Amino acid sequence: AQTVTQSQPEMSVQEAETVTLSCTYDTSESNYYLFWYKQPPSRQMILVIRQEAYKQQNATENRFSVNFQKAAKSFSLKISDSQLGDTAMYFCAFMKQVSYNNNDMRFGAGTRLTVKP
Amino acid sequence: NAGVTQTPKFQVLKTGQSMTLQCAQDMNHNSMYWYRQDPGMGLRLIYYSASEGTTDKGEVPNGYNVSRLNKREFSLRLESAAPSQTSVYFCASRSSGLAGVGYQETQYFGPGTRLLVL
């Protein structure tokens, strides 16, 4: 079974600075997807960024980028120019690539990020 | 575009009571999921439905039943609630689409239902 580990339960960063959240995973699959989700106090899960395992290029979405190291099974999230609105829980998630019947999306325990003014 | 909606937003039950959590999506997705979120444990899959008319157990199915009423709706039922089922429940649906080489897939989540079982 796949497992996702987020080793940093809590982190903080000063506004406008850069912070990196860590995630490692364990799988025997060769094709899969990795995600970072943001959960603000409203509890809604918001997709931040997605990475396909077959792509060597790291995904980027505005201030958010990932460092995907497939051999090391590492998937870290970098937030540049941190903003107060980035304060939230961040979850790393793994999903197998299955053509139709997909039952397996595994989440890490989360990292609580606080952006300080 | 409403996306994924869930009702109710908050519910208090007594031990032994039953209730159904409702979920609907308007994105024409085939796959739908129910997760529970507990402190320090991320999200865990309860049940999923790959398509209308099919359902399968996830990681933590005990104490729950589901029903895929149609393509839009996927409900989660607690027949006899227990305090261990106090949690936040999320429904999700999955998109998949061919984009260039391979598929791009993402799950979209509802706003969650907070359930307290006394």
Q: What is the mean pLDDT of chain B?
A: 89
Q: Is the pLDDT of residue A90 over 70?
A: yes
Distance from CA of residue A105 to its chain's centroid? 13
Residue B51 Cα distances to A101, A103, B71, angstroms? 8, 11, 7
Tokens 């139709």 appear where?
Answer: A100
Phi, psi of A8 (to 5 degrees): -115, 100
Distance between CA B92 and CA B36 in Å, rounded?
11
| DSSP 8-state symbol, A61 | E
Q: Is the pLDDT of residue B36 over 80?
A: yes
What pLDDT was estimated at residue A103? 60
Q: Which of B30, B42, B102 sits opposite A109 (nearest CB)?
A: B42
Which residue does chain A place closest to B105, by CA atoms? Answer: A33
**Could you tell me if A53 and A30 are in contact, meaning their C-beta atoms sit under 8 angstroms apart?**
yes
Q: In chain B, what residues touch A101 (CB-CB under 8 Å)? A: 50
* Record: contact B45-A105, CB cut-off 8 A: yes
Tell me, yes or no, if A54 comes closer than 8 A to chain B by beta carbon. Answer: yes
Percent of chain B with pLDDT over 90: 66
Q: Could you tell me whether strands B19-25 and B74-78 are parallel, antiparallel, or unpaired per DSSP bridges?
A: antiparallel
Q: Is the pLDDT of residue A115 over 60?
A: yes
Q: Is the pLDDT of residue A78 over 70?
A: yes
Interface of B with A (CB under 8 A): 30-31, 33, 40-45, 48, 50-51, 56, 58, 88, 90, 92, 94, 101-112, 114
Which residue does chain A place closest to B94, by CA atoms? Answer: A102
Average pLDDT of span B73-92: 96
Percent of chain A with pLDDT over 70: 92
Tell me, yes or no, if A11 comes closer than 8 A to chain B by beta carbon. Answer: no
Helix, strand, coil percent content, chain A, rounded in steps of 5: 5, 50, 45
Tokens 């104490």 appear where?
Answer: B63
